[in-house]
Amino acid sequence: MARLQIDRVTKSYGELKAVDDATLDVANGEFLVLLGPSGCGKTTTLRMVAGFVEPTSGTIRLDGNDVTTLPPWKRNAGLVFQSYALFPHLTVNQNVAFGLEMRKVPAADMPKKVAEALRLVRLDHLGERLPRQLSGGQQQRVALARALVFHPDILLLDEPLSNLDAKLRQDVRVEIRELQRKLGLTTVMVTHDQEEALTMADRLVVMSEGRIRQVGTQHDLYERPADRFVADFVGRSNFIEGRIEAPGKFVSKGGLAIACADGPPGSAVLALRPERVAIVGSGEPADNRFEGRVEFLSYLGAAIDLHVRLSPAERLIVQLPNRPESAAPKIGDAVTLAWSRTTARIFHD
């Protein structure tokens, strides 16, 4: 267990900066998730922490010690791969024992430690099997036991759930998280799946094009996205382009005058969460009210998405809870949308 500090780390491949000036501080016992689309630098960051990639500049500290140039086998990091990466020629027990062997743990102590680690993932009855005789979920748990058995300073998870089917993924998510809490393990996980990231993390790091866009809790990222990318990548947002003409007054390209929070005048983008826009009756007061027509409708089960045309240039997605007592509008219906001035976030490009 240890604190991980990544200080101004950059990794360049020629002209391309895979990771550009990343700084992160992961507290002891914290579960940090690196989130972003493929090619954003999250995996490179993880591989630098694991020791497979050497940073071009910057330092990485584990428990206060500079490990920037240390090879992977000297780092004491437990790694779980997307492909599980179990040794196919070794049994489950031998797979789990591998890290202990490398650490010269006396042979007499090994069976007990291996059994203990397998019990953590509830697979102690399958120790004699070969990896190919296990299901994907079981293989993933063996990989986890193998990474935990030698008490690593840090646990690194590289898209650990993406090869599992949807139902199993939800179970394993909870399982990994509970185990991590119980052991108080500092953990860094990489994923491109925002739902996975939101459900598992203590804190999240959103990356794109090699840069860290925002670091924060789920609430921070959702309620106060730092830029347009984060507002789009975490949850969904409607974006309305236009200008701030006067303090609190935004005029869209399509000519809508929208009341918003104060900001410096100039060209700007307004971001609006689909579920924060309401459909109101004609008499109800609101900061912003706009008439529109429903052009498209998606039935999602728990909710309904309406695509509402407000002006030739603007169409908003509005998400309504699906309630039997209130009839949802149909395609072609005229509706009135409303939201308060503080609902929208403003980004200056």
Partner 1 sequence: MAQGRIDTRRLGRFALRGVASLSMAYLLLPLFFVTWLAFFAQEIPSFPPEGYSFKWFRAIPGNDRFVSGFLLSLEVAAIATVIGLMLGVPAAVGLVRLRFTGREAASNLLLLPLVVPGIVLGIALYVFHVEAELMTELPILGSFGGLIAGHVLIVIPWTVRLVTASLVGMDRSIEEAAQSLGADRLTTFRRVTMPAILPGMVAAAMFGFISSFGNLEMSLFIVGPGRTTLPIAILQYLEWKIDPTIAAVSVLQILFIAAAMLLTDRFVRISRVV
The residue among 80 and 230 lying less far from partner 1, judged by its C-beta, is 80
How far apart (Å, rounded) are the C-alpha atoms in residues 328 and 302? 13
| Residue selected from 29, 39, 58, 72 as contacting partner 1 according to rule CB under 8 A | 72
Query: Within 148-187, which residues bind partner 1 (CB under 8 A)?
Result: 150, 156
- Interacting span for partner 1 (CB under 8 A) from 5-13, 97-105, 283-291, 314-322: 97-105
Does 255 participate in binding partner 1 (rule CB under 8 A)? Answer: no
Least distance between partner 1 and beta carbon 67 (Å): 13
Chain position carrying tokens 């990231």 = 197
The residue among 87 and 296 lying less far from partner 1, judged by its C-beta, is 87
Does 99 participate in binding partner 1 (rule CB under 8 A)? Answer: yes
- CB burial class (10 A; 0-12, 13-18, 19+) of residue 26? buried
Does 87 participate in binding partner 1 (rule CB under 8 A)? Answer: yes
Does 50 participate in binding partner 1 (rule CB under 8 A)? Answer: yes
Question: Rounded to the nearest 5 degrees, what angle is found at the Cα of 84, between the Cα atoms of 81 and 88?
Answer: 135
The answer to whether 146 and 99 have CB atoms below 8 angstroms apart is yes
User: Could you tell me how many residues make up the chain?
Assistant: 349
Compute how many residues bind partner 1; rule: CB under 8 A: 29
The residue among 150 and 233 lying less far from partner 1, judged by its C-beta, is 150
- Interacting span for partner 1 (CB under 8 A) from 66-74, 243-251, 303-311, 323-331: 66-74
Does 222 participate in binding partner 1 (rule CB under 8 A)? Answer: no
Does 54 participate in binding partner 1 (rule CB under 8 A)? Answer: no
Does 146 participate in binding partner 1 (rule CB under 8 A)? Answer: yes
What tokens does 28 get? 């002891």
- Which residue in 13, 5, 12 sits closest to 57, CA to CA? 12
- Interacting span for partner 1 (CB under 8 A) from 65-73, 165-173, 238-246, 324-332: 65-73
Least distance between partner 1 and beta carbon 83 (Å): 5
Q: Strands across the sheet with 249-252, in order?
A: 257-259, 249-252, 238-246, 266-272, 345-347
Residue 108, SS3?
A: helix
Per 3-state DSSP, what percentage of the chain is helix, strand, and coil (rounded to 5)?
30, 35, 35
Kindly tell me the sign of the dihedral angle through the C-alpha atoms of 163, 167, 173, 176.
negative
Half-sphere exposure at residue 190, Cβ-oriented, CA atoms within 13 angstroms: 23
Does 118 participate in binding partner 1 (rule CB under 8 A)? Answer: no
Does 22 participate in binding partner 1 (rule CB under 8 A)? Answer: no
Chain position carrying tokens 């797979």 = 95
How far apart (Å, rounded) are the C-alpha atoms in residues 140 and 68? 28
| Residue selected from 15, 73, 106, 349 as contacting partner 1 according to rule CB under 8 A | 73
The residue among 32 and 77 lying less far from partner 1, judged by its C-beta, is 77
Does 105 participate in binding partner 1 (rule CB under 8 A)? Answer: no
| Residue selected from 23, 65, 69, 83 as contacting partner 1 according to rule CB under 8 A | 83
Q: For strands 249-252 and 238-246, give the pairing.
A: antiparallel
- Interacting span for partner 1 (CB under 8 A) from 1-9, 46-54, 106-114, 216-224: 46-54
DSSP state of 43: H
| Residue selected from 121, 142, 147, 207 as contacting partner 1 according to rule CB under 8 A | 147
Residue 160, SS3?
A: coil
- Interacting span for partner 1 (CB under 8 A) from 58-66, 73-81, 217-225, 263-271: 73-81
Half-sphere exposure at residue 151, Cβ-oriented, CA atoms within 13 angstroms: 6
Q: Which residues bind partner 1 (CB under 8 A)?
A: 50-52, 71-79, 81-83, 85-89, 98-99, 102-103, 143, 146-147, 150, 156
